[in-house]
Structure 1
Amino acid sequence: MNHRWSLSNRLALLFAACTAIVSLFAGVLFSRGSEAHFIELDQQVLEAKLIGVRRALQDSHGHDPRKLLDDELSRQADLALRIKDNEGVRWHGGSIRIPAQVPERLGLSTLSDANNDYRVLNAPLYLDRADSAQLTLLLDITHHQHFLQRMQRLIWLTVGLSAVATALLGAWAARRGLRPLRRMGAIASNVSARSLNARLPEEHMPAELAELAHSINDMLGRLDDAFQRLSAFSADIAHELRTPLSNLLTHTQVTLTRERSLEDYREALHGNLEELQWMAQLVNDMLYLAKADHGLLALHREPLDLAQEADLLLEFFAPLAEDTHVHLSREGNSHMEGDRNMVRRALSNLMDNALRFTPDGGEVRVRIVDGAQEVSVSVENSGEGITADLLPRLFDRFYRADPSRQEGSSEHAGLGLAITRSIIRAHGGEIRCESADGWTRFVIELPKSN
Structure 2
Amino acid sequence: MKTSLTLRLVILYAVAAAVTFALTGVALYGVLDRQLDRLQQDALRTTAQEVSYSLARSGDPERWGRFKTKLDTLTPVDGSLRFWVLSDDPAYEYGKGLADISSLERHPDGFGKITLPDRETALTTITATVDPYLARPQVRLIVGMDSAPYAHTLRYFLWAMAGLSLTAILLVGLLGFWVTRLGLRPLNRLSAEARALRPSALSQRLSMAALPVELEDLATSFNGALARLEGAYNQLEAFNADVAHELRTPLTNLIGQTQVALSRPRSADDLQEVLQSNLEELDRLRALINDMLFLARADQGEAATGRIQAVLADEVGKTVEFFEFLLDEAGMRVRMEGDAFATALIDTALFRRAVTNLLQNAIQYSAPGAEITVDIQRRGDMLEVAVSNAGPPIAPEHLPHLFQRFYRVDAARRVDGLEHSHGLGLAIVKAVAAMHGGNVSASSEGGTTRVAFCVDARTSG
Q: TM-score range by the shorter chain?
A: 0.7 to 0.9
Counterpart CA distance in 2 for 1:329 and 1:252 is: 45
Deviations 1:283-306 (A, max 9, x none): 110111112222203243333334
Other-structure match for 2:125: 121
- Name the amino acid aligned to 1:329: R
- Name the amino acid aligned to 2:442: C
Instruction: Classify the secondary structure of the residue corresponding to 2:230.
Output: helix
Is the Cα contact below 8 Å between 2:439 and 2:453 reproduced in 1? yes
Instruction: Classify the secondary structure of the residue corresponding to 2:3.
Output: coil
Deviations 1:141-164 (A, max 9, x none): 565455434423431232123212
Distance 1:185 1:233, change over 3 A: same
Is the Cα contact below 8 Å between 2:56 and 2:131 reproduced in 1? no
Counterpart CA distance in 2 for 1:132 and 1:124 is: 11
Question: Cα offset for 1:27?
Answer: 2.0
Counting only pairs closer than 5 Å after superposition, residues 298-377 of structure 1 correspond to structure 2 as: 298-334=304-340, 335-337=342-344, 338-369=346-377, 373-377=381-385
Is the Cα contact below 8 Å between 2:442 and 2:451 reproduced in 1? yes
- Name the amino acid aligned to 1:424: A
Question: Aligned to 1:283, which of 280, 285, 289?
Answer: 289
Instruction: Classify the secondary structure of the residue corresponding to 1:312.
Output: helix
Distance 1:33 1:365, change over 3 A: closer
Matched, 1:172 2:181: no
Other-structure match for 1:274: 280
Other-structure match for 1:211: 217
User: Size of the alignment, in residue pairs?
Assistant: 437
More off after superposition, 62-71 vs 135-144: 135-144
Other-structure match for 2:113: 108
Is the Cα contact below 8 Å between 2:86 and 2:94 reproduced in 1? no
- Name the amino acid aligned to 1:209: L
Other-structure match for 2:36: 38
TM value normalised by structure 2: 0.78
Other-structure match for 2:394: 386
Identity %: 33
CA RMSD in angstroms comes to: 4.0
Instruction: Classify the secondary structure of the residue corresponding to 2:61.
Output: coil
Question: Cα offset for 1:320?
Answer: 1.9
Distance 1:307 1:10, change over 3 A: closer
Counterpart CA distance in 2 for 1:207 and 1:127 is: 79
Matched, 1:247 2:253: yes
Question: Aligned to 1:414, which of 414, 423, 430?
Answer: 423
Is the Cα contact below 8 Å between 2:336 and 2:373 reproduced in 1? yes
Question: Cα offset for 1:76?
Answer: 7.6
Counterpart CA distance in 2 for 1:314 and 1:140 is: 110
Is the Cα contact below 8 Å between 2:48 and 2:126 reproduced in 1? no
Counterpart CA distance in 1 for 2:359 and 2:171 is: 77
Deviations 1:204-251 (A, max 9, x none): 555543333343333333333222222221221122112222333344
Instruction: Classify the secondary structure of the residue corresponding to 2:405.
Output: coil
- Name the amino acid aligned to 2:164: T
Question: Cα offset for 1:75?
Answer: 5.9
Other-structure match for 1:16: 14
Other-structure match for 2:437: 428
Question: Cα offset for 1:372?
Answer: 6.6
Distance 1:67 1:370, change over 3 A: closer
Deviations 1:244-290 (A, max 9, x none): 22333344444445555554444443333222221111111011111
Q: Please, which runs of 5 or more residues in structure 2 have no aligned partner?
A: 105-111
Is the Cα contact below 8 Å between 2:302 and 2:435 reproduced in 1? no
Counterpart CA distance in 2 for 1:266 and 1:143 is: 121
